[in-house]
Structure 1
C-alpha cells in the first residue's frame, strides 16, 4: 500500500541510512511532506534532495531527540515515524548516561510524542547487536526470529538498543488520543555497508597507514552476513507500507524482523578485503595474536583503563566484546521479512559491491593525502 499524501518523519535523517531512506521515500512515494530530524542539519543536506523531491515538501527539524516539546512539534500531523537516530559506539568511547539518554530515553519520548500527536505508525531501526553475540561467543547459523539464543547483552550500545527496541514493541497497541491505536515494529539489520559507510572508510585509512595492508581481527570461519544500505532502506519502506495496510497491520505490529540480503557470508575482516582488494589492498594472513591471547590482552587493557578511570578516561583500542563480535559466526535469514513485509532485496550483491567499491575509490585519494601530509 502506497504512502501517497502522507507526512513522514525520519529521525537521524542526515546519517548514513537516514539519507538513503529519505531519497527512497521521495523517489518511490508521493508524500505530502517529509520531516528531517537531526541534531545538526545543514542547508546542503536539504538541498541534496532537490533532484528527487518533486512536489513533496522537505522540512528540516534541528534539535535534540531528548526534547519532548521539540518531538511533539515534529510529529504533529504525521502518519509514520521512522526512528533511526541513535548513538553508535562499538568501543566504549561514549558515557553510558549519554547512550541511554539518546538510545532509550529519546526513543521513549518519541513514542510518547506519537501517542500525544496521534501518529499511527512507528518503525524502529534496531541492530543485530540486540541479539548478541553473547560473551561466550555462541554461534548462530542462518538464524530466524524464532531462534532461541542465550543472550546476556553486556556492552552498553547493545543494551541501550535492546531496551529501545523492547519499549517500541511494548508500545504496540497503545491508545492514541483520537481513539485509534499505535502500531509499531522493529527492524534488525545486519552490519550495514555501502556508499557513505564510515566504518569502511576507517578500515581503509588504517590500511593506508599500514602500507596498503588491512588488519585482520576476524578468523575466516567467523562469518556474518552484511547487508547493503539500499536494501535496508527498502525494508523500512516496505514496513511502513505494511503498517498502513489494515490487513497486515495486526500481523506485524509488535514484531521484529531480521534484515539481510544476498551478500555472501564472510568474516568482517575478509569483507573489508573483498571491498578493498580491487583498490590495491592486501590483508594480513593471521590474527596479530592467537585468539586466547588476544582476549587476555584486551582484559589487561580494560583492567588498566578501569584503574586509571578516576584520574583519566582512557578507551582501550580493542575490547573483549569487540573481539567476540568479530570472531563469532552470526548469520540470519530475512525470510520472515520477505513473507510478512513483502521485503525482497532490490540490489544484488554484484550491484552493491560495485557501487561500494566505486565510492571507496572516490574517497581514497583524499584519505591518502590526509595521511601522507
Structure 2
C-alpha cells in the first residue's frame, strides 16, 4: 500500500485495473465525523462501481483513510481537508463527482457556538456546496437534516408515529434547529436546478431521529453524569415522553439507499425534492430510559423520579438562560440546561420510516438487539477511561 501524504490519497498496488472499471465518484462532507465515517464504510460494503470516495472534513484522519482503503481493492479513497465555507476548495472537491452526501454540520443545543458560526457552516456552507455542484455538474445531492427541523415546538405538542405528511407547526427556537431547517430548504429548493453541462440536479434530505451508537458523545455525557451520581443515571425526561432513537449504522444505510435512488432514473423522479424521516426498530422510550437501556448492561441504575420537581427544573433552566444572556458581553457561558431542551426531552415525538422504505428502499440494516449490543460494548470499552478522567477533575 502506498500513501500520498500531499493529496491525502491512499492507493493499493494492483488496484488501478479494478478501479478503471468503476465510474462513480462520491464526495462525503463531514466524512470523519460520527455519521460520515459510517457512510463511507457502508458505501464500500454495499455499492458497486465506485471509482473513488472523497472524504471532505475540517480535520483529517489518516488512520481512517487507511482503514477504509484496506477494506477495498477496487475503490480509491482520498481526503480533502478544509472548511465547508471555502468556495474554491468546494469547486475542486466536486470536480468529476457523481454524488454528494452532505453531513458536515455544527451541532449545538446549549448555546456554546455563536449564531454567526452556526449559520456560516450549516447554511452558508450548504449554499456554497450546492453552487459548486451546479458549476461542476454534480447530478445527485443528499442532505443530512435533523429531527429537530420538525420540532418539538415550545408548547410540547406531541407526535406519535408521525410521518412526512403529519401537520405540525415547529416554531423553532434553537439556533441549531433553525440553521438545519434553512440548510434543508436550500437543498430541496435546489432540486431541478440546471447544471453547467445541461443536466439537472436531483436532491433529497434525510431527517434522522436522535442518533446513537459507537462514538456518540451524548451517551458519554450522560454516562459521565451517571458516574458522578454513583452509577445512577439522572432522570431528565418523563417515561411517557417517548422518542424513537436510531442507530448510526442504520442512518448511514439510509444515506446509501438515498444516493442510490437519486442515481436511478425512475426513483429519481419520485425521491427528488423530498425529505424523509429515518428511524429504525429501536423501541420507543424516553431519552432517559433509552440511556438506561444501553447502559444497564454496565450495571448503571436510573432515578425513578426527576432530580427535582419539573416546574423547579424549568425555573432553574430559565435562571441559567438569563445568566448566559447577562454574561455574554464578558464571557462564554454554556448552561447544561435550557427550557427548550427540557421541552424536547419531555415531549412524545416519534416518526416512522415507512415513506423511506417505500421510496428509497430503506429498511434497517441492523436490528435493535445488534445495535444495542454494539453500543453497550463500546460504552463498556470506554468506561474505565471515563472513570479515570473524572477522578482527575
- TM bracket (short chain): over 0.9
2:43 to 25, 28, 31: 25
Does the alignment pair 1:313 with 2:332?
Answer: yes
- 1:289, CA displacement in angstroms? 2.2
Residues 26 and 54 of structure 1 are in contact (CA less than 8 Å); yes or no, is this contact kept in structure 2? no
Does the alignment pair 1:349 with 2:381?
Answer: no
Does the alignment pair 1:265 with 2:287?
Answer: no
Does the alignment pair 1:161 with 2:215?
Answer: no
TM-score normalised according to structure 1 size: 0.98
Segment drifting more, 201-210 vs 64-73: 201-210
Aligned to 1:336: 355
**Structure 1: which 5+ residue stretches go unaligned?**
none
Aligned CA distance change for structure 1 residues 274 and 33 (closer, same or farther; 3 Å): same
1:41 to 56, 60, 75: 60
Residues 60 and 81 of structure 2 are in contact (CA less than 8 Å); yes or no, is this contact kept in structure 1? yes
Aligned to 1:148: 167
SS in 1 for 2:312: helix
1 CA distance for matches of 2:385 and 2:329? Answer: 39
Query: How many residue pairs end up in the alignment?
Result: 371
Counterparts of 1:167-182 in structure 2, within 5 Å, are: 167-182=186-201
Aligned to 2:9: none
Counterparts of 1:199-238 in structure 2, within 5 Å, are: 199-238=218-257
TM-score normalised according to structure 2 size: 0.93
- 1:80, CA displacement in angstroms? 0.1
1 CA distance for matches of 2:334 and 2:374? Answer: 34
- 1:187, CA displacement in angstroms? 0.2
- 1:4, CA displacement in angstroms? 5.3
1:13 to 17, 21, 31: 31
SS in 2 for 1:32: strand
Residues 69 and 75 of structure 2 are in contact (CA less than 8 Å); yes or no, is this contact kept in structure 1? no
**Structure 2: which 5+ residue stretches go unaligned?**
1-20
Residues 130 and 158 of structure 1 are in contact (CA less than 8 Å); yes or no, is this contact kept in structure 2? yes
- 1:29, CA displacement in angstroms? 2.0
1 CA distance for matches of 2:70 and 2:337? Answer: 42
Residues 79 and 121 of structure 1 are in contact (CA less than 8 Å); yes or no, is this contact kept in structure 2? yes
Does the alignment pair 1:79 with 2:98?
Answer: yes
Segment drifting more, 44-53 vs 110-119: 44-53
* RMSD of equivalent CA atoms: 1.2
1 CA distance for matches of 2:61 and 2:358? Answer: 39
Counterparts of 1:58-97 in structure 2, within 5 Å, are: 58-97=77-116
**Regions of 4+ moved over 3 Å:** none
